[in-house]
Amino acid sequence: MKGALLSIGEQICKDFNQYLRELEYEGRCVFLPFQIEKLKVRNIGKFTERTLEFDRGLSVVYGLVGTGKTTVVKSIASISGYSRLVKCGEDNGEIKMTLSDGRLLHQSLDEVRNVHCIVVDDVGEQLDENHYEKFLCYLRDMNTQLILTTGRMNDERYEKIIHMFPDCRFIDLNGR
């Protein structure tokens, strides 16, 4: 007899590291070898001009659909030069491109080893409140800078975050 099927939340909680890697492959999670103090964007996505300052621990960027949460994550990934291109299990990779005028562009890529910042877009959107709390505990125990975006910032989630991350910085993109 087969075991009971796990809910999506239970599957995710079973292996949070795998969940983060899946989000990375979807372009919704970035692992960086440095911490971020400030991000300034001008004429990018929804932003005419916006400066975001991040905490050394946890920063939560929240807002309604279309307020620029994903733009923040993509901007960080873009400016850092990071992208998850290196084949799983390999340490480095290489890209060469020849342009129509004969110029050669070359980029060497190294897998991120020493993670000092994790940026996750729409963290926990698929998790119920119990699993969301467990996921936050998992992230807290990683002892690295965290930048999370979420569209759902209710009182219960706010209280859980403040309880686990007392020095958390909240960044409201709703224009308040």
Print pLDDT tens along the chain (176 aa): 345 566 666 666 667 877 787 787 777 888 888 888 999 888 888 888 889 999 989 999 998 888 989 888 888 887 766 555 555 566 666 666 666 777 776 655 555 557 788 898 887 677 777 788 888 888 888 888 999 998 878 888 888 889 889 999 999 998 74
Claim: this prediction has a pTM higher than 0.85: no
C-alpha distance from residue 5 to each of 2, 9, 11, 131 (Å) = 9, 11, 9, 16
The CATH number of 8-83+92-172, from 1.10.10, 2.30.29, 3.40.50, 1.10.760, is 3.40.50
> For residue 16, what are its two tokens?
């949070």
Round to whole Å and give the CA distance between 120 and 146. 8
